[in-house]
Amino acid sequence: MRAARLASTVVTATVLLGAATACGSKGAADATGGGAKGGDAAAAALTGDPRTALATAALVMQKAGNGKVTMIAPDGSTHTAGNGDADWKDPSRMAVDLTGEVETKKTRFRVIGTDGYLGGGDAEAAAMGGKHWLKLPASNELGDSVLLMSQMVNPVVQLTLAAQGGKPVKVGQESLDGVQVTHLRAVEEASAVVAGMPALSAGQRTAVQKSLEVDGKTLTVDFWLNGRQELVQYQEYGDKNGEHDAVTVKYSDLGKAARIEAPAATDLGSDTDILKLLG
């Protein structure tokens, strides 16, 4: 989600960081290694300008390239959300592979670039003649929702837009899952969020914005950064229902996610199999 194509926003984040700290992008890269020098640079960014902290974190997450993600739905569970892998190294091939639940059914959501897929287990495959996956039409409401989900978990784009135009503020130091973190917050326009989603067609951009604005035209975005300037948690909610409808994304095992590939064409069912998969 964010304000320009990822390649240009990362460059801008580098310039932001270089102007604000003596360490520049090298300090951000060192921070991922856990060395004393990198730790000092990260700590300085965390206690300084919130824009610098977010820009530094964007560089750290870009270097990591991938990780494990958990999406937590507004009801506080992983219902209709999920757990799995995400790969954000290539902005034109944002990839997500999550397993979640839809009405107690285990369901898989996979996105490769702008292609979305819905998958099930062996029982659903038996009903679909042995096929495990469906490719979702780009103009389909479910396809739009899955595409939006994949864009939400891209930490580099999220962090960069907040650093550039989200008017970020520091909320404070907190403990999250037993780790001391810095909590930052930004308020953004939904239209700016959609403008920063890379590789979307005009039609997909319109559909995704419509889906996003169901929660409001203004979004509140929270970030929790650890001492190595890694994003460990992200939360977003619109102005209509507030934090009650917040969706949360947690990040872990940075750089350790498996490569995500599109399902084999021979394992794809037909469009008419959607009820067999979800029914």
pLDDT of 99-134, one tens digit each? Answer: 887 566 778 889 998 888 988 877 777 888 888 898
Higher pLDDT, 190 or 260: 260
Is 121 contained in some domain?
Answer: yes
Is 84 contained in some domain?
Answer: yes
Number of domains observed in the structure of the chain: 2
Name beta bridge partners: 224.
183, 233
Residues 189 and 247 in one domain: yes
The reported pLDDT for the residue numbered 53 is: 93
Q: Is the dihedral of CA 270, 121, 109, 101 positive or negative?
A: positive
Q: Which two tokens stand for residue 236?
A: 């977003």
pLDDT band at 149 (very low <50, low <70, confident <90, very high): confident
Residue 181, pLDDT > 90, answer: yes
Give CA–CA dist 160/33, Å, rounded. 21
Is 1 contained in some domain?
Answer: no
Query: How do residues 4-56 score in pLDDT, each as one tens digit?
Result: 222 223 323 333 333 333 333 333 334 334 443 444 545 555 667 899 999 99
Beta strands in 37-94 (DSSP E): 66-72, 82-87
The reported pLDDT for the residue numbered 76 is: 58
pLDDT band at 138 (very low <50, low <70, confident <90, very high): low
- Assess contact for 192 and 161: CB atoms under 8 A: yes
Residue 275, pLDDT > 50, answer: yes
Residues 170 and 55 in one domain: yes
Residues 263 and 248 in one domain: no
What domain range includes position 126?
Answer: 78-150+258-278
- Assess contact for 190 and 176: CB atoms under 8 A: no
Burial of 5: CB neighbours in 10 Å, binned 0-12, 13-18, 19+: middle
Neighbour order of strands in the sheet with 247-252: 133-136, 115-119, 105-112, 95-102, 82-87, 66-72, 247-252, 231-238, 218-225, 179-189, 169-176
Is 52 contained in some domain?
Answer: yes
Q: Which two tokens stand for residue 201?
A: 């067609």
Residues 45 and 173 in one domain: yes
- Assess contact for 78 and 100: CB atoms under 8 A: yes
The reported pLDDT for the residue numbered 237 is: 87
Residues 117 and 35 in one domain: no
The reported pLDDT for the residue numbered 199 is: 62
Burial of 23: CB neighbours in 10 Å, binned 0-12, 13-18, 19+: buried
pLDDT band at 279 (very low <50, low <70, confident <90, very high): low
Residues 169 and 220 in one domain: yes
Is 73 contained in some domain?
Answer: no
Lowest mean per-residue pLDDT among 12-16, 230-234, 265-269: 12-16
Give CA–CA dist 185/167, Å, rounded. 8
Summary mean pLDDT of the chain:
76
Is 136 contained in some domain?
Answer: yes
The reported pLDDT for the residue numbered 256 is: 95
Residues 187 and 141 in one domain: no
Give CA–CA dist 131/181, Å, rounded. 44
Residue showing tokens 């009820």: 275
Is 180 contained in some domain?
Answer: yes
Give CA–CA dist 17/4, Å, rounded. 18
Residue 257, pLDDT > 80, answer: yes
Give CA–CA dist 242/9, Å, rounded. 28
Give CA–CA dist 72/78, Å, rounded. 5
Instruction: DSSP letter for 271, please.
Output: G
Closest residue by Cα to residue 113 from 140, 81, 136: 136
Is 156 contained in some domain?
Answer: no
Give CA–CA dist 75/154, Å, rounded. 22
Share of the chain above pLDDT 90, in %: 32
Q: Which two tokens stand for residue 239?
A: 């102005």
pLDDT band at 77 (very low <50, low <70, confident <90, very high): low
The reported pLDDT for the residue numbered 16 is: 35
Residue 59, pLDDT > 60, answer: yes
